[in-house]
Structure 1
Amino acid sequence: MNSNTLYLFFIFSILVILNNVFHFLSQSTASDSDASYVLACGASTDAEDTNGRTWKSDSQFLLNSGDSMTLSAPVQDPSLPSIIPYMTARIFTSTSTYKILVAKGRRCWLRLHFYPTSYGNLDPSKSYFDVIANGFTLLHNFSASITAQALTQVYFMKEFALRPTRSGDLNITFKRTLEHIKDAYAFVNGIEVISMPDIFVPAPLVGYSDQFVEVDSSSFQTIARLNVGGQLIPPTNDSGPARTWYDDSSYIFGAAFGVTFKADESVKIQYPGNSSKEIAPLDVYNTARSMGPHGNININYNLTWIFQIDANFTYLVRFHFCELEFESVNQRVFQIFVNNQTAEENADVIAWAKSRGVPVSKDYAVYARDEPGDEELWVALHPSLSTKPQFYDAILNGLEIFKMNDTRGNLAGPNPVPSPMPTQADDAVEEYRPSRSKRAAHLIGGIIGGFVGCSVVARLFICFTKEKRKGYRSTSSVGYRLPSYGRSHTSTSSSTMSSGKSTASSHLSSVAAGLCRHFSLLEIKHGTKNFSESQVIGVGGFGKVYEGLIDGKTKVAIKRSNPSSDQGCEEFLTEIEMLSRLRHKHLVSLIGFCEEDGEMILVYDYMANGTLREHLYRSNKPALSWKQRLAICIGAARGLHYLHTGAWYTIIHRDVKTTNILLDEKWVAKVSDFGLSKMGSNPNQTHVSTIVKGSFGYLDPEYFRRQQLTEKSDVYSFGVVLFEVLCARPALDPSFPMEQVSLVDWALHCQRKGTLEDIIDPNLKGQLNPLCLRKFTETAEKCVAEDGLDRPSMGAVLRNLEFALQLEKTSEQPEPVSYNSADDTYAMYTVMLGIDENSVVSLENNAPHKSNAFSPMVNPGPR
């Protein structure tokens, strides 16, 4: 071989070596920056989910796969968004570890997907396990089955932000904790590991002006990720690592929802130079929730969100802001409170971002003290008064809450306590049970969020629809309450069923399934003893109602459709869609449904004391006292008031009657039966044109004549209920003489003649305070006015009933006063109680009352 040949061979060899080096470096660089693993645990081959994401088999990442087995779920629940990864599981009977190579020095998102069900012959109740990643305990003695029950969802996901080892390894260990129990096991359905930029920076510790919480070596668990004022953003629409951003309305405290709006076409949202789309997608900053355009209302309440947390941890609270309306400093300045402590005294988004349409995020850390029952984190906004801004208002676009590991490297909290119903956000504040450490603060929030919030926000919405401030624009989304973080969102795709279920889900099932729990027909039959007549507790227009048990222990009411009933699929679906999204102390709670083999079945929380009607007449049950009746009427009014004003659109019940007001074991009233409910199509709509439906005797005559449904139709029906409660007789009774058949007509006749006392329930004799009775009957009379415009709003009805109850409680008269001669005494008590009757009691005036007796206006402060 000559020298030229040797030279060429040498050059070629060098080029090959350099090519391999460059190829290795390029792969290494790509791996360091784009490391992403989406693993379907237990799957034998790679497969795509419904969103087009490819999930790889997990077997190559498992160090000791011999200590595990793969099993398939026996049944695909219709709420599952995809077969992949939930229909297969990796089952661990001994300690097993995944080893995944990720980018060195960079954090990564770790998501664990769980679908607890009966895999093979394994019992889900025997699955308790730990999950440890790189020395951090993520889950301890964790039960996926209990967690799913508490969430009332069949599947869920846990998300963590972790740092890999120095070598770039992420080691995820599963260890069962019930070693002494036969067949105990751990499992997982899916694992996502996605490299991320480090979006966490030191955050000021709320309550300590000079202290910051270091985050460099910390791990985090995602507690909440909310698109405030907007709709759910699915992973496919996220600009970062496939995150889900949930609607915030399910976390809002009380009736004070504020208003939502969207950026108009003139606002172009652009990230600043030092920001990143990894922080949050533009869709988060494109919508917002504010307190509203009326500053005189806003200064009297807080816009508040509440989150369930684990005590004894530090939490990082991230606020996302983007000013969409104003352009100058000091136009909108507000205070930020976290857990009743001031996090920011004067928050001015324009001052931070320097321009309209520029996103900015702010982080604050707070420590949740380890006190019994103290497992809530409160976030609140309130207009700042000290800077005298142009508008007394507050704004928020997005909110995230992350739990930080403690000093032992632990992120795990206890298993949640399962509930027979979805978690309720309650604006009936006087029945709310805060922890001892927060009772004073909750009292402030309760007074404002309950009495003031309900009445004030009613006025806010009424005013807002008539007179919008320039720049405020509403979104088209309803202020419904949606599932909390980690729950499934609505899935409208049809699903295949097995094990005795229908092989093709109907449209009804596919729409409803993601909203609440789906029961199999076998579960329902087991819980009702195969629909035994001995279990029947009522019969309605939809069908029979059975007392039953679910999960072997939780008592429920099960309503089964009668095939010959006039109410069918439309009412069934309406009931599911309404009740699974609405959460209120005085609305009956829907637990789930069953739609299988032609059956349409609804499962509700059990109401131990039945319907209001059976405690009024034609029953052997003891008669209710007058104070009990007042409290029940007030509770029902609160529920209806929430329907009319608690969401951006008015929801009209359309079938208010005493059989649709249920009573729980504590005699708390809950409005039920939403099969006929209607919702307006836009905020400015004054009525809904629809065919007439409802119950005779309660039907609004104006609605009957014009076929135009309004919220005042519910007010009329509720007025009939009030007379029914007072007189203890049916709304229509053909056994009476002709002039007395209609309760409303006869009561109004007696009211005009001054003989109303003659038709009052004899069981109430001696219990009625004339002042209270006068306010109650005035309220009922106004409710059943012939013209809807003459009827009060439900908020005004509620305030007057509360006033009547206050009169009943506070007035102690040495001598009885007749109903017809109570004028002077009535006036005397309004003065004695410090009540402005014109502003508080007037049924014609829908403005919020100013009574010191019922709504003490304290400084809202942090809560």
Structure 2
Amino acid sequence: MMKIKTHVLFCFISLCFASNAIHVLSEAISKPSNPVSYLLYCGSTSPETSADGRKWEPDTKYLVSSDNTAPVQATYQDPSLPSTVPYMNGRIINSETTYQFKLHGKSRHWIRLHFYPIDYNSFAAKDAYFSVVAGGITLLKNFNTSVTALALTQSHVIKEYTFYPDTEYLNITFTPSPDHKGSYAFVNGIEVISMPDLYKTATLVGFNEETVDAESSVLQTLYRLNVGGQFIPASNDSGLTRTWYDDTPYLFGNIGVTSTSNSTDRKFKYTTDVPEMIAPFDVYSTARSMGPNSTINMNSNLTWFFQVDSNFLYLVRLHFCELEYTQDNKRTFDISINNKEADKAADLVLWGSMESDVPLYRDYAIYVSDAVGDDNLTVTLTPSFDAVPPPETYDAVLNGLEIFKMNDTKGNLAGPNPVPSDYMLRVEKLKEEQQEKIDAAREEENKKRKKVVGGAAGGAVAVGLVAAVCIVAYQRQRRVLGSDPGMASGWLPLYGSWSNSKSTISSGKSCSSSTLSSLAQGLCRHFSLAEMKSGTKNFDESQVIGVGGFGKVYKGVVDGGTKVAIKRANPSSEQGIHEFRTEIEMLSKLRHRHLVSLIGFCEENEEMILVYDYMGNGTLREHLYKTNKPQLPWKQRLEICIGAARGLYYLHTGAKYTIIHRDVKTTNILVDENWVAKVSDFGLSKTGPSLNQTHVSTVVKGSFGYLDPEYFRRQQLTDKSDVYSFGVVLFEVLCARPALNPTLPKEQVSLADWALHCIRKGMLEDIVDPNLKGKINPECLKKFAETAEKCLSDQGTHRPSMGDVLWNLEFALQMQENPNGASLIADERARTSESTAAHSISTDLSYGGESTTDESTDSLNSTNAAFSQLINPQGR
């Protein structure tokens, strides 16, 4: 008996020792010895606190020499900046200049460089070409922040690096590029922060059992994604201040199914190899998988697509956590990077030592060569349907993804500046032209002012003249502020005098009188009224191509021949300055293939005019009914619906904030000369609810026939309100009749009500457009109608998300093009299927709380050309 007790006691002591050892090791990894944290707000004169609560100090005492440098202040604040600190001050550098930081002990460090590329006094952003060297490693060479921000469609640029300095002091040197005349360097913020050593070795893809030493490498962070989850700010990253982004813009083809752990008190089983700080809790508690339909998954995959620089080695870190299964061989999948096998038959339960809820990661290294002119990197997960024995479920899953560039053998990390899109180059050119006009107007005004002052010298006449000028200026200011009773309400100039439209800065804070001034100058061209009159033949009625609640839309030309659509506000319209402002604010921030592009605006002589890209084929409604135009074939109608769904999906998920369109209808879906659908008219759009809200309470606006009944009753707006309106659009496309037709019998007036009634009675075929009879594959029609029906659910919680709508529409298109695929689905549905809801996992494909089964969820075949390519490099 004593021996047994002694043995038990020994085991207990050993277990405690092992547990304590694991804890100590974990602490050693998570907490570097003698950590440092330098946060420099360059150009500032006093400490400041950023929006995330971190404190930044002035940079002067870290400069080896401040000669040939100068502090500067930004003249306006872009609304998309996350904080005034560290962006509204900066330091201009005219010759080689070094910052020096003392490091306390050897450990890995973050280096983050923050840039806000605008014109600083006489220093034009386009001339800022420079290099940055840190610890002997070239981080940037011939770098231009203005070009980079333009290519990324961002207001600011952050460059993040991590490496292991081998000296007591870290030097970061900025050098203007000698190859550019008048070049200079600048920086707004610098971070040097100790971090745990989280990088060891990586498996070299394409070479058997070869590894790459990541520990001694300098790494540049290119992408850090919370796969299947939402944006995670740096403040929620367990002290490591990393930012994690949504993976949606990088998906190629099949968008998969997102899942989230419902348990808020879920405990993950971290190990010494995978400590808790390796990634935030939210990364491992969300995931993206292929969906429950194994038969379809065998012909599909999950693929993410990234743009990178060629001739560099890249570290790709994949984060996994099995949240569903507790036994091995339930789900296995293959991992490929750039079409090269990285891992075969990955089984997360086996990787987790036969347990679930175990956070895991795998590091792979891949060399991207320019041998074939390629500068892309793809990560692909494919079910292991060749595995022996075969897994029970053909599926793949991923929780997080990080991509780092590794320095080459010459100690270089610098790549070429990215190339902006043609559209963004055009925007930048228009911006420069507008600025030249503004500068010319200022110069002319200064000349006139000098003449007035000179002519007024001496005598009472001069005093009277000055007084008159002051009165005129005062009256003008009153009109700008809207206090002049002689100015009609709702028609106030947004910017006042354009020569004075830039905001002034005091103590690092923007004092702009208009939230639109920076947007207008940055992304919107300011047209003169004379240009608008010339381009529309003085608003001749023969140029009118549409009429809406805001006013008439004219076909016009600018710049000697560029076709545009010009929307002129009607002074008697109820949609006045608020819609004008909203349209500019929304479209200035959004860039997407399936959203109409705003070129510019005119705000002169109490006119409010918006200028858009010209859509050669007009509105979707023009091609459905009451038209002399040829009827659209079914496939083309379906493709237009898919394009519009992509645009709305981007509004709901791809922008910085959820944007609810609030006026989705067939007249607001335009079609260009190539039949590409684009969502238009953002005058009624609203920013969606914050994370801790479920809706936005607002006055009901929209178009009758498309209005969400729940929104109408409760005045609570959600993104599901757009889904309802889009459901009406889908039936409008299918039935080729208006959303409301008062001439029909009472029960048929509302298309939404009539369509739902016919579906319930099994009479769907009776209301389909006669021109489509016999031309729609039955399975395609069924899928399309089911999708539209779900959109029209009375309660928003029972409607699909726009991502689900897009998924089903693309699958319907696949059914139309591939009848054999439709037969495959029919056979699959005939079988008895098990519910896939298990272990508190919920998916986005669950409508109204129903469990997601094979019958309600269909996957896409990524090899088919019909797949949704949700990648949009200019979208973020």
Same fold (TM over 0.5): yes
Write the distance in 1 (CA, Å) between the matches of 2:32 and 2:626: 76
Give the distance between the partners of 1:852 and 1:202, measured in 2 at CA: 33
| C-alpha contact (below 8 Å) 1:322/1:357 kept by paired residues | yes
Match of 1:662 in 2: 670
In the alignment, structure 1 residue 397 sits paired with structure 2 residue 399: yes
CA distance in 1, matches of 2:32, 2:778: 74
Q: State the 1:245 CA deviation.
A: 1.6
**SS, match of residue 34 in structure 1:** coil
Q: Distance in 1 between matches of 2:825 and 2:203?
A: 48
**Contact 1:422-1:591 within 8 A present in 2 as well:** no
Shift of 1:43: 1.6
Distance in 1, Cα, partners of 2:197 & 2:368: 24
Bigger CA drift: 145-154 or 383-392? 383-392
Letter in 1 for 2:100: K
Corresponding residue for 1:218? 217
- Give the 3 Å change call, closer, same or farther, for CA 58–249 of structure 1 in structure 2: same
What RMSD, in angstroms, separates the aligned Cα atoms of the two structures? 5.9
In the alignment, which residue of structure 2 is the partner of 1:383? 383
Residues 564 and 366 of structure 1: is their aligned pair in 2 closer, same or farther, counting only changes over 3 Å? Answer: farther
Matched, 1:48 2:56: no
SS of 2:343's equivalent? strand
Give me the identity figure in percent: 48
**1:125 matched to which residue of 2?**
126
Q: Please give the per-residue CA displacement for 1:175-199, whole angstroms capped at 9, x wherever unaligned.
A: 2225552x32111111111122322
Aligned to 2:418: 416
61-70 or 591-600, which moves further after superposition? 591-600
Q: Distance in 2 between matches of 1:379 and 1:187?
A: 35
Q: Which amino acid aligns with 2:234?
A: P
Alignment partner, residue 69 of structure 1? 70
Partners of 1:273 and 1:293 lie apart in 2 by 33
Look up the match of 1:717: 729
Q: What secondary structure does 2:410 align onto?
A: coil
Q: Answer yes or no: is 1:635 the counterpart of 2:618.
A: no
**2:779–2:822 Cα contact (<8 Å) kept:** no
Provide the secondary structure at the position in 1 that maps to 2:149.
helix
Contact in 1 for aligned 2:660/2:722 (Cα 8 Å): yes
Kindly tell me: are residues 522 and 689 of structure 1, through their superposed partners in 2, closer, same or farther at Cα, counting changes over 3 Å?
A: closer
Q: Distance in 2 between matches of 1:121 and 1:195?
A: 37
Task: State the secondary structure of the residue aligned to 2:263.
Answer: coil
Q: 1:68 to 1:694 in 2, by over 3 A?
A: closer
Change in 2 beyond 3 A, CA 1:679/1:601: same
Determine the C-alpha separation between the residues in 1 that align with 2:81 and 2:711. 42
Q: Which amino acid aligns with 1:383?
A: P
Instruction: Return the alpha-carbon distance in structure 1 between the equivalents of residues 791 and 305 of structure 2.
Output: 41
Task: Please state how far the C-alpha of 1:112 moved relative to its aligned partner.
Answer: 0.5
Q: Which amino acid aligns with 1:138?
A: L
1:326-375: CA deviation from partner (whole Å, max 9, x where unpaired): 33333333222222222111222232233333322210111112156522
Whichever residue aligns with residue 54 of structure 1, its letter is K
Q: Distance between the aligned counterparts of 1:318 and 1:94, measured in 2?
A: 38
- Match for residue 310 of structure 1? 309
- 1:234 deviates by 1.7
1:146 counterpart = 2:158: no
Shift of 1:65: 1.4
- CA deviation after TM superposition for structure 1 residue 144, in Å: 0.4
Native 8 Å contact 1:316 1:401 kept in 2: yes
SS of the equivalent of 1:150 reads helix
After superposition, residues 125-524 of structure 1 pair within 5 angstroms as 125-164=126-165, 166-179=166-179, 181=181, 183-262=182-261, 264-265=263-264, 267-354=266-353, 355-371=355-371, 374-385=374-385, 386=387, 387-419=389-421, 500=501, 519-520=519-520, 524=524
SS of residue paired to 2:86: helix
Normalised to the residue count of structure 2, the TM-score between the two structures is 0.64
Cα distance in structure 2, aligned partners of 1:592 and 1:179: 35
What letter matches 1:370 in structure 2? Answer: D
Q: Give the conservation status (yes or no) of the 8 Å contact 1:62–1:98.
A: yes
Which structure 2 segments of 5+ residues have no match? 1-30, 426-497, 537-544, 756-762, 830-854, 868-876
Match of 2:485 in 1: none
Give yes or no for contact 2:527–2:602 (8 Å, CA) kept in 1. Answer: no
8 Å CA contact retained: 1:612, 1:659 = yes
Report if the CA contact (8 A) 1:641-1:795 is conserved: no
Q: CA separation in 2, counterparts of 1:138 and 1:716?
A: 53
Superposed displacement of residue 395, structure 1: 2.9
Q: CA deviation digits over 1:3-56, x for unaligned, max 9?
A: xxxxxxxxxxxxxxxxxxxxxxxxxxx996212211111122322223332212
Alignment of 1:530-549 (within 5 A): 532-534=532-534, 539-543=547-551
Native 8 Å contact 1:128 1:141 kept in 2: yes
Which segment drifts farther, 575-584 or 197-206?
A: 575-584
How many angstroms apart in 1 are the aligned matches of 2:560 and 2:184?
23
CA positional deviation for 1:532: 2.7
Alignment check: 8 A CA contact 1:657 1:718 kept:
no
Q: Is the 1:637–1:798 Cα contact (8 Å) retained in structure 2?
A: no
Residue 250 of structure 1, CA deviation: 2.5
Q: What CA distance in whole angstroms lies between the structure 1 residues aligned with 2:687 and 2:214?
A: 47
1:643–1:652 CA contact under 8 A, matched in 2 = no
State the shift of 1:661 in Å: 2.3
Please give the per-residue CA displacement for 1:543-598, whole angstroms capped at 9, x wherever unaligned.
56689999999998786876754457997899799989998754546799999999
Q: Give the Å deviation of 1:644.
A: 8.8
Shift of the 103–31 alpha-carbon distance from structure 1 to 2, 3 Å rule, reads farther
Q: What's the CA shift for 1:417? A: 1.8
Distance 2:68 2:784 in 1: 74
CA contact (8 A) 2:727 2:791 kept: no
Give per-residue Cα distances to partners, 1:387-422, cap 9 Å, x unaligned: 433443333222111011122222112211223679
C-alpha spacing 1:776/1:258, structure 2 compared with 1 (3 Å): closer
> Over residues 136-188 of structure 1, what are the superposed CA-to-partner deviations in whole Å (9 max), with x where a residue is unaligned?
22112211011111222211201011332x4322222212225552x321111
1:124, CA displacement in angstroms?
0.9
Kindly tell me: are residues 709 and 414 of structure 1, through their superposed partners in 2, closer, same or farther at Cα, counting changes over 3 Å? Answer: closer
**Residue of structure 1 equivalent to 2:467:** none
Query: For 1:125, what is the secondary structure of its paired residue?
Result: helix
1:205 Cα deviation (Å)?
A: 0.9
Q: Structure 1 residues 789 and 570 mapped into 2: Cα distance closer, same or farther (>3 Å)?
A: same
Q: Measure the CA separation in 1 of the matches of 2:549 and 2:376.
A: 41
SS in 2 for 1:285: helix
Question: Is the 8 Å Cα contact of residues 313 and 368 (structure 2) preserved in structure 1?
Answer: yes
Q: Provide the C-alpha distance between the structure 1 equivalents of 2:686 and 2:129, rounded to a whole number of angstroms.
A: 45
Q: Which residue of 2 aligns with 1:446?
A: none
Q: Is the 8 A contact 2:520 2:588 kept in 1?
A: no
Distance 1:247 1:575, change over 3 A: farther
Instruction: Return the alpha-carbon distance in structure 2 between the equivalents of residues 552 and 104 of structure 1.
Output: 65
Distance in 2 between residues matched to 1:552 and 1:103, nearest whole Å:
64
Aligned partners of 1:547 and 1:412: how far apart in 2?
Answer: 46
1:394–1:411 CA distance, 2 compared to 1 (3 A): same
Alpha-carbon contact 2:129-2:180 (below 8 Å) kept: no
Give the deviation of 1:72 after TM superposition: 1.0
Q: Quick check: 1:779–1:797 contact (8 Å CA) kept in 2? A: no
Aligned residues of 2:623 and 2:630 also touching (Cα < 8 A): no
Between stretches 639-648 and 409-418, larger displacement belongs to: 639-648
Any conservation in 2 of the 1:110–1:191 contact (CA below 8 Å)?
A: yes
Deviation track 1:73-112 (CA, whole Å, cap 9, x = no partner) reads 1112222222222111111112222222224543311111
Change (3 A) 1:62 1:331: same
Q: Which amino acid aligns with 1:306?
A: F
Residue-by-residue CA offset, 1:430-469 (whole Å, 9 max, x unaligned): xxxxxxxxxxxxxxxxxxxxxxxxxxxxxxxxxxxxxxxx
TM-score (norm 1): 0.65
1:85 pairs with 2:86: yes
